[in-house]
Structure 1
Amino acid sequence: MQKPDVAAFFDKRTFSLQYVVADPRTGDCAIIDPVLDFDEKSGSISTSNADGLLSHVEKRGWTVRWILDTHPHADHFSAAHYLKGRTGAPMAIGEHVKDVQELWKGIYNLPELPTDGRQWDHLFADGERFRIGGIEARVMFSPGHTLASVTYVVGDCAFVHDTVFMPDGGTARADFPGGSAEQLWKSIAGILSLPDETRLFVGHDYQPGGREVRWESSVAEEKAENIHLAGKSEAEFIALRQARDATLPMPKLILHALQINIQGGRLPQGEENGRSYLKIPIDAFPNAVW
């Protein structure tokens, strides 16, 4: 099985993992889940994370062929649009982003928002194949955490976003609008049906117990050691996931981030003073944990 080069970049502010995956033979690469830095206290935007990804690519002499998001993130802004401007590479996401757009269009009361996914250059269908250089890649529709989540399988690697975390971190929450613990279980089962030696790269690491950050496991490790999965039946997993989700507050940036991320990382259009403004709905989640 083909083995791409994978470099991980950790954003401590949001505990997010970003990746550059490359075919070193051809020098072609893809950037996965890039972070656009946002400080909610001051409203400031920075491109430090995204520029770090570009610096890595430039040092290697590689060419960015794809900018990929696994789903519209609830805890950080996507840097996809910024990176497209810097590299010219197409932006892509799973085709069910249209369902997420339709859902959040109502939450934000954005009647003019296009909900056909036109904000991206390409929408991937389940099972669709593409290439990064000479390395074959394919897309697995992996809903549950969100309506639109996909897994990118690239050679012997799978970028599993927010389905499973490292074995000591368990699994992703499934209580966001459009989420489902039942769907999450089925998506995880699909991921864990990949060959045992498949390298899995997670979307977040919350460093349980204060350990050093980790981002790579394998199908075999997750099946044997994941604290939410090993030895659990579907019913047990769903009960565990739903009970845990009921105790979790919303991510601090969910209302900031989704209005950006359902538009491919584009900031709101500037007003007459040249400044952009975010729109925060009041009581969008009236029963949320504080």
Structure 2
Amino acid sequence: MTTFPVNMNVQPEVASFFDPATNTISYVVKDPNSNSCAIVDSVMDIDYAAGKISYENADAIISYVKEKGLKVEWLIETHVHADHLSAAPYIQEKLGGKIGIGENIITVQETFGKVFNEGTEFQRDGSQFDALFKDGDVYEIGGLRAFAIYTPGHTPACMTHVVGNAAFVGDTLFMPDGGSARADFPGGDAGTLYDSIQKVLALPDEMRLFMCHDYGPNGRNIEWETTVGDEKKHNIHVGEGKTREEFIKFRTERDAQLDMPKLIIPSLQVNMRAGDIPTDKDGRPMLKVPLNLL
């Protein structure tokens, strides 16, 4: 079993940016002892019906980074999102930093390269990204050590990133009253997701957990920060000792009732390219809509 270099005495500064159109939370994570930072799960805006891309969310992050005088070292994607488009290349062009994702992006690229009939020109080796993280990989944000935990189940490439006493869980977990994310996308698996959640819950109870999404269940205000201890006690899907078998049964039945995310078609095409927009043979930005394949 992989052991991880947890340091609960280090508390990074975390700034949050909520996108109401996709219920996504992006983060700027700063080393408390330098001006270095990482950006986690950025959002590029899309008006899908109009075929228009814009950057209001990314520009808000860029303005914050410039205002605080920060240096971006990493642009982290916790996974290949199916519900929003990444703004990582746009931010990288403005601020620098390396774009990183889990090494099993290769599996996602292989699967959806076929779905979208991408052809041989689309590289399925993860080379669109600057770094491919393996389970237990350690990297630095200034003098701040961070590490990646492989937490598949929602997708094959999901990683949880732990920075001091803060963990960015992507879609592996939601807030306690939100439970967990779906596990029915290609390469997803409910049992694997349960096992990954247990990895997160094995971190210290005081570990701060930051969600990638929140939907305000039962009309409550949007929230995105909790702790391992709170999840263990109160998570409606896995808390209070719920078994793997109970989780698989619930998650499988629940997923069968869910519609596909509204932005899954553009999101997958863009995000498996590290946020770059695909083009047609004449170099024009263009998305495909495969029929009856997803």
* TM-score category (smaller protein): over 0.9
Among residues 249, 264, 268, which one is paired with 1:254 in the alignment? 264
| Residue correspondence of structure 1 range 207-222 to structure 2 within 5 A | 207-222=216-231
**Residues 157-197 of structure 1: CA distance to partner in whole angstroms, max 9, x if unpaired?**
10000011000111010001110001100100000000000
Q: Does 1:239 align with 2:245?
A: no
Letter paired with 2:43: V
Matches within 5 A, 1:263-282: 263-269=273-279, 272=282, 275-282=284-291
1:64 corresponds to 2:72: yes
1:88 deviates by 2.0
SS at 1:158 equivalent: strand
Amino acid in the other structure paired with 1:255: I
Aligned to 1:283: 292
Distance 1:229 1:152 in 2: 20
| Alignment partner of 1:131 is 2:137 | no
Cα deviations by residue, 1:256-286 (Å, 9 ceiling, x for unpaired): 11011100000112654x631100100013x
Are the equivalent residues in 1 in contact too, given 2:11–2:32 (CA < 8 A)? no
- The normalised TM-score by structure 1 is 0.96
Q: What residue in structure 1 maps to residue 102 of structure 2?
A: 94
**Alignment partners' CA distance in 2, 1:130 and 1:219:** 23
Paired positions, count: 284
The alpha carbon displacement at 1:82 in A equals 1.0
- Pairwise CA distance, 1:24: 3.0
Q: In the alignment, does 2:19 pair up with 1:37?
A: no
Residues of 1 paired with 2:279 and 2:52: CA distance?
16
Task: Quote the Cα distance in structure 1 between the aligned partners of 2:280 and 2:182.
Answer: 34
Q: How does 1:137-148 map to 2 (within 5 A)?
A: 137-148=146-157
Shift of 1:90: 1.1
Contact between 2:36 and 2:142, CA under 8 Å: does it hold in 1?
Answer: yes
CA displacement at 1:125 relative to structure 2 = 0.9
Segments of structure 2 that go 5 or more residues without pairing to the other structure are: 1-8
Identical residues among aligned pairs (%): 49
Alignment partners' CA distance in 2, 1:219 and 1:29: 24
* TM-score, normalised via structure 2 length: 0.95
- Give, in angstroms, the shift of residue 204 of structure 1: 0.2
Task: Identify the match of residue 25 of structure 1 among 22, 30, 33.
Answer: 33
> Structure 1 regions of 5+ residues with no counterpart?
286-290
Quick check: 1:160 aligned with 2:169?
yes
The aligned amino acid for 2:248 is I
The equivalent residue for 2:58 is 50
The alignment yields a C-alpha RMSD, in angstroms, of: 1.0
SS at match of 2:214: coil
Query: Which residue number in structure 1 is paired with residue 16 of structure 2?
Result: 8
Q: Is the 8 A contact 2:26 2:43 kept in 1?
A: yes
Distance 1:174 1:230 in 2: 18
Deviations 1:193-223 (A, max 9, x none): 0000000000100111221110000000000
Instruction: Provide the residue aligned with 1:288 in structure 2.
Output: none
CA offsets 1:91-137 (integer angstroms, 9 cap, x no match): 11111100100010111111221111000111111100011112110
